[in-house]
Structure 1
Amino acid sequence: MLEGVSVRVSLIGLLLACATTAPTSKKRDWDIYSFHINSTVTSRYATTIITSRVANRIDASQEIQFHVKIPKNAFISKFIMTIEGQTYDGVVKEKEEAQRQYTQAVSHGQSAGIVSSVGRTLEEFKTSVNVAALSKVTFELTYEELLKRQLGKYELLIHARPMQPVADFKIDVHISEQHGINFLERKGGLSTKQLANAITKTQTPTEAWVNLYPSKEQQTQCDGCGEQGLDGDLVIAYDVQRKNSIGELKESEGYFVHYFAPSDLPRIPKNVVFIIDRSGSMSGRKMKQTREALLKILGDLAEDDHFGLITFDNFVSPWKNELLQANQINLHAAKSFAREIKDNGGTDINAAVLKGTDMLNRHPREGTASLLILLTDGDPTTGVTNLEKIHKNVKEAIDSKFPLYCLGFGMDVNFEFLEKMALENNGVGRRIYEESDAALQLQGFYEEVATPLLTDVQMVYLGGSNLTQTHFSQYYNGSEIVVAGQITDNNITEFTAEVIAISKSNKVKYSETTPSEEPIKASSDSNIQRLWAYLTVKQLLDKEVKSSGDEKDKVKKEALDLCLKYGFVTPLTSMVVTKPQGEDSQVVHKPKEGEKPIGRAL
């Protein structure tokens, strides 16, 4: 359920867009005369189109660049350039095939388009084209993303920075939720000062429209704005109505999606062990921020929770050898211990995680949910250092009994190693960025898993096939389980959805068979098929990380085939950007988490 690399809640998506070239003088010789961001959200699936129209104002040809920053969880699905009425399309190809074209261009000293990681939530798409004297170019980029719910809401965060006031600047957001919108709010720098007067919001029970149409003068008058125009965020947060416990079922053209997010359940007491790296590389601000976050997290434990603390460097040092109840006496003592954690020595990840696993295995409690949280900033340097051996040891010890969440602190950590270890044990890997708010990032992650409501969740669909993930070790309050698939023989009259899980004190079962009083929602929403493809590709990419040998090759091919069919730019595919005759094609790559861009940036 938990995914992504950003601890800041940003479930529906994040985009920052700008089309710029660096001016050579105070007077611009190019002009962005139109800049539109249009985001349509239908049943949690967001399609965003960014359109920038740029004019060459001088009597000579020049290169115009287009920069767009998009969410790391999004897939680019279309890119078009229009010059003098001629349209040039990007085409998605297998990465190796596109790589040959890219390498050839770079070897000849030519520029090449690329998507590169630029922070905790963003990737940056860059391309350029030569524009004739006094001519215009239109760039249009489309990307898609399934919105994720965290802490009870979805968020759309739009960060606009066009580097100049734009005469025709528009942000249009349309949200459609068939079961109804529970609340909707807007915030961020782009809703402050004079810009607040440029925002309109229209809402019905099932739809909402938010529009930002600022004048050129207003674009210089907001928090963070100035002579160079807009520079800030517009955040739109919302949640949906949930009319029954089974959740929301929708169908279109033989595909279905099921959103499951019950809230009318008692919280399950948890058993949590925090495994904290205190090696020498954690010195300074990292250690200070870790202590700060840990103190806050300990203060948020409920009295019926049980917890353990383990610190490690060359040696593994449990605070206590068993889990303790989170009462005031134990929490006071634990906080005193946390304040005194000092950095020193190497990094024995294998022994530390096995010790945490042993603590949970030795103290089972009926009607509870157990989880391990590992925080580290480095590779294993002592004890068992073979990464495959560590993965094997941890997987065998945990044996699918509870999830392991791996938090990698900083950019030097071997995130691929941590992510695989987490995915193999029903958890997720999350990077914690070494910035001033790192303590808040740690606290934010913990809040996502702080309130388990269900364990061992099984989703069953009689009449469904080609299903996405249907088993989830835990479901947390404020999150959402999403399952999509195809309906066998297009026969929705025999379609049955069942959810079987364990709550605080007993097994629960939800079931709905069509036709019923409120049958599966049939609609003309063609996004359901693309939603299924997006979610399937995401899960296959995760599965590839933890697979090996023939299984890895099989999973990779399955994901690749879907990427090519639906035109998604992923770590397995690239987009070849066709350019006008006489110029070289460019290749758009989507990097893996933490991967550095190859070749030359524009």
Structure 2
Amino acid sequence: MCFCWFVCVCVCEYVYTDDWDIYSFHINSTVSSRYATTVITSRVANRMDESKEIEFQVRIPKNAFISKFRMFIDGQAYDGVVKSKEAAKQQYTDAVSQGQSAGIVSSVGRTLEEFKTSVNVAAHKKVTFELTYEELLKRKLGKYELQIHARPMQPVKDFKVDVYIHEKAGINIMEVKGGLSTNAMANAITKTHSDTQAWVYFYPTEDQQKTCDHCGEQGMNGDLVIVYDVNRDNSFGDIKKSSGYFVHHFAPSNLARIPKNVAFVIDQSGSMYGRKIQQTRTALIRILNDLAEEDHFGLITFDSSLFHWKRELVQATEENLASAKTFALQIQDRGATDINQAVLEGARMLNANPREGSASILILLTDGDPTSGVTNLEVIQSNVRKAIAGEFPLYCLGFGFDVNFEFLEKMSLQNNGVARRIYEDSDAELQLKGFYEEVATPLLTDVTMVYEGGINLTQTNFSQYYNGSEIVVAGQITDNDIGTFTPQVVAQRNRKVVNIQRVWAYLTVKQLLEKELRLSGPEKESAKKEALELSLKYSFVTPLTSMVVTKPPGESSDVLHKPKEGEAPQTPTSNVRQYGLMPSSLSLPLCYGVYGVVSLKLLHHPNKGQSFFSL
């Protein structure tokens, strides 16, 4: 049995005034075959004798793409249209005749972006806002977790949270946690689950919204968290096929772990002073406690110079771990930042320790730009790419908001890794340790997904597969002929219709955006063009597109855009009162296309040292 995890977060809030009444406030999340669709609806009435400008505001997961936005005023629907950023900006500029009402999607925190738009509502009239966003849920740390944060700032008479989950593999257990799951709210929560489906309803009364542990006169302020796991047999994946498309979820869990070689490269420059360096020391000691004896590791700290604990990787014996912890406790902030020299030394240590049947990992933690040694970012990226030469992944952890995150992200993607921002909160050491746990247990290396009869595939090569994660590949089936479609995995080791086509489009756009970031020249432009075309075709708001919201005549249009990581949030210039919204109630039947469980057997190739997962 294994546990699967995803986070799908919706934060909804507003500032209450006597000018209008939120008379309906709903959340609905539908998760089907790991693809989440959330529709958010909020209904508001202007109770004043004059028109007022009302702002619609919601927070959505950063990895989600907004695919639809609609306003209903006096029975008239006003739809947002996804266009290229340039076309949207031009339409916005042409439409603005007076005032500066603004609509944006802006980064506001660890996992959320904020969607805002505003509209003028006549006296004693009502407006309904409806937003749809989609997200392919990522498996992490072996569990699925649906988290909903509610802070309406006012008790709402018609307040509902509806959650529906469907997993073909079967739902083993389910529980509801979080700050809103308290004794005071016990009878407001209804949960049921059958073999393959689960429902959670959260309907607190107005009184309950004021009296729970995280409640008051301004209503609720807390989380509702639905946690569940699924049944897993001995197969190594499942494939769903529909309308000429397929999606393959590959998450084997009964494989033996591979010993790892890990080099930690830690920034101790002057900007890491105080809390950052303290949190880093604490996290590093916790991580060292989790190393297995068959693992090998190394520690490098750097400012303008390098400081080694040992010059080569050593085994994680009890004696070596005790010595490494002493070294970690003595890390002090000082000096400038020579990222180039430090990462190249980490790569050298790993390349000098090529243990057969093991997986190597390079982890960089820094909070700033390179200020010493080689400082040209493109030269550093080129040097690192040559030093690693595709042999192992590089994971870059950017501490705080001053770090050049785009530089770290590009360098990670160029070397089969990912970048993660570490927020300087009270739990930063837990964030660091949490990231390490995601890559702490490698099960496979050099994974290649092969699909005979498949075309237009998303990413099929993966440097490593970790316990608790999941590999997802989507594509089209040649000539829509399911009979000719055969998958194979090669690796090194010791109620709504599920729209498979949208899963493919989502994955393809995400991967093209990553490709565009790490490339240059004609290849960069080609990836950008393809990502733009798919974003427009499937109406996804991405960093290359914006959504133009056309308001009633006489009001300016809004442009809603998705920023890059770390981009400063924009602020509407109009002086509007704010209110929040809530996902709407959506109940749609579910059905599936052809569903197949792929039983894969692990076969060893004696000559090539490879293992094959075969049907």
Q: Name the TM-score class by shorter chain.
A: over 0.9
**Contact kept? 2:33, 2:167, Cα under 8 Å:** yes
- Residue type at the aligned position of 2:559: V
User: Residue 76 of structure 1 is aligned with which of 62, 66, 81?
Assistant: 66
> Could you say which residue in structure 2 is the equivalent of 1:583?
555
- Residue type at the aligned position of 1:16: V
- Residue type at the aligned position of 2:186: A
Q: Distance in 2 between matches of 1:558 and 1:244?
A: 38
**Contact kept? 1:153, 1:238, Cα under 8 Å:** yes
User: Residue 511 of structure 2 is aligned with which of 539, 556, 562?
Assistant: 539
> Could you say which residue in structure 2 is the equivalent of 1:352?
342
**Contact kept? 1:102, 1:112, Cα under 8 Å:** no
Q: Distance in 2 between matches of 1:294 and 1:600?
A: 41
Q: Secondary structure at the match of 2:215?
A: coil
Q: Distance in 2 between matches of 1:531 and 1:185?
A: 27
User: Residue 16 of structure 1 is aligned with which of 11, 30, 45?
Assistant: 11
**Cα distance change of structure 1 residues 180 and 473 upon mapping to structure 2, 3 Å threshold:** same
1:599 positional shift = 6.6
> Could you say which residue in structure 1 is the equivalent of 2:256?
266
User: Residue 568 of structure 1 is aligned with which of 537, 540, 543?
Assistant: 540
> TM-score normalised to the size of structure 2?
0.91
User: Residue 556 of structure 1 is aligned with which of 511, 516, 528?
Assistant: 528
**Cα distance change of structure 1 residues 10 and 239 upon mapping to structure 2, 3 Å threshold:** closer
> Could you say which residue in structure 1 is the equivalent of 2:141?
151
**Cα distance change of structure 1 residues 600 and 103 upon mapping to structure 2, 3 Å threshold:** farther
**Contact kept? 2:301, 2:308, Cα under 8 Å:** yes
**Cα distance change of structure 1 residues 250 and 86 upon mapping to structure 2, 3 Å threshold:** same
User: Residue 164 of structure 1 is aligned with which of 143, 151, 154?
Assistant: 154
Q: Distance in 1 between matches of 2:173 and 2:506?
A: 27
> In the alignment, does 2:365 pair up with 1:370?
no
1:101 positional shift = 3.6
1:108 positional shift = 5.5
| Mapping for residues 105-504 of structure 1, pairs under 5 Å | 109-503=99-493
Larger deviation: 571-580 or 54-63?
Answer: 54-63
**Contact kept? 2:104, 2:562, Cα under 8 Å:** yes
Q: Secondary structure at the match of 2:219?
A: coil
Q: Percent identity?
A: 71
Q: Distance in 2 between matches of 1:274 and 1:364?
A: 17
1:154 positional shift = 1.4
**Cα distance change of structure 1 residues 124 and 106 upon mapping to structure 2, 3 Å threshold:** farther
Task: Kindly tell me the number of residue pairs found equivalent between the two proteins.
Answer: 571
**Contact kept? 1:152, 1:477, Cα under 8 Å:** yes
> TM-score normalised to the size of structure 1?
0.93
Q: Distance in 1 between matches of 2:345 and 2:39?
A: 49
1:21 positional shift = 4.9
- Residue type at the aligned position of 1:352: A
> Could you say which residue in structure 2 is the equivalent of 1:519?
none
Query: Unaligned stretches of 5+ in structure 1?
Result: 1-8, 506-522
Structure with the greater relative contact order (CA < 8 A, sep ≥ 6): 1 or 2?
2
Q: Distance in 1 between matches of 2:95 and 2:153?
A: 29
Q: Distance in 1 between matches of 2:369 and 2:284?
A: 22
**Contact kept? 2:234, 2:254, Cα under 8 Å:** no
**Cα distance change of structure 1 residues 467 and 137 upon mapping to structure 2, 3 Å threshold:** same
**Contact kept? 1:159, 1:234, Cα under 8 Å:** yes
Which digits, 9 at most, give the CA deviation of each residue in 1:340-370, with x for residues without a partner? 0001000000000000000000111011000
**Contact kept? 2:108, 2:569, Cα under 8 Å:** no
Query: Unaligned stretches of 5+ in structure 2?
Result: 575-615
**Contact kept? 2:38, 2:133, Cα under 8 Å:** yes
**Cα distance change of structure 1 residues 597 and 108 upon mapping to structure 2, 3 Å threshold:** farther
> Could you say which residue in structure 2 is the equivalent of 1:55?
45
| Mapping for residues 500-519 of structure 1, pairs under 5 Å | 500-503=490-493, 505=494
Q: Secondary structure at the match of 1:145?
A: strand
- Residue type at the aligned position of 1:252: S
> Could you say which residue in structure 1 is the equivalent of 2:596?
none
1:246 positional shift = 2.6
Q: Distance in 1 between matches of 2:43 and 2:571?
A: 28
Q: Distance in 2 between matches of 1:259 and 1:539?
A: 17
**Cα distance change of structure 1 residues 223 and 107 upon mapping to structure 2, 3 Å threshold:** farther
Which digits, 9 at most, give the CA deviation of each residue in 1:147-175, with x for residues without a partner? 11111111111001122111111111111
Which digits, 9 at most, give the CA deviation of each residue in 1:151-203, with x for residues without a partner? 11111110011221111111111111112123322111111132222011111
Q: Secondary structure at the match of 2:114?
A: strand
Q: Distance in 2 between matches of 1:600 and 1:489?
A: 49
Which digits, 9 at most, give the CA deviation of each residue in 1:220-244, with x for residues without a partner? 2323211111111111122322234
> Could you say which residue in structure 2 is the equivalent of 1:41?
31
**Contact kept? 1:252, 1:524, Cα under 8 Å:** no
Q: Secondary structure at the match of 1:157?
A: strand
**Cα distance change of structure 1 residues 223 and 21 upon mapping to structure 2, 3 Å threshold:** closer
**Contact kept? 1:50, 1:141, Cα under 8 Å:** yes
**Contact kept? 2:35, 2:136, Cα under 8 Å:** yes
Q: Distance in 2 between matches of 1:107 and 1:287?
A: 51
1:334 positional shift = 0.4
Q: Secondary structure at the match of 1:191?
A: coil
1:104 positional shift = 5.9
Q: Distance in 2 between matches of 1:327 and 1:50?
A: 53
- Residue type at the aligned position of 1:17: C
**Contact kept? 1:310, 1:318, Cα under 8 Å:** yes
1:29 positional shift = 2.0
1:598 positional shift = 4.7
**Contact kept? 1:21, 1:65, Cα under 8 Å:** no
**Contact kept? 2:106, 2:115, Cα under 8 Å:** yes
**Contact kept? 1:113, 1:601, Cα under 8 Å:** no
1:245 positional shift = 2.8
**Contact kept? 2:98, 2:556, Cα under 8 Å:** no
1:251 positional shift = 0.6
Q: Distance in 2 between matches of 1:50 and 1:36?
A: 7
Q: Secondary structure at the match of 2:50?
A: coil
**Contact kept? 1:105, 1:112, Cα under 8 Å:** no
Q: Distance in 1 between matches of 2:306 and 2:94?
A: 51
> Could you say which residue in structure 2 is the equivalent of 1:89?
79
Q: Secondary structure at the match of 1:479?
A: coil
1:126 positional shift = 0.8
Task: Please give the root-mean-square deviation of Cα atoms over the aligned residues, in Å.
Answer: 1.5
1:556 positional shift = 0.5
Q: Distance in 1 between matches of 2:95 and 2:290?
A: 55
Q: Distance in 2 between matches of 1:22 and 1:209?
A: 31
1:102 positional shift = 3.9
Q: Distance in 2 between matches of 1:68 and 1:438?
A: 26
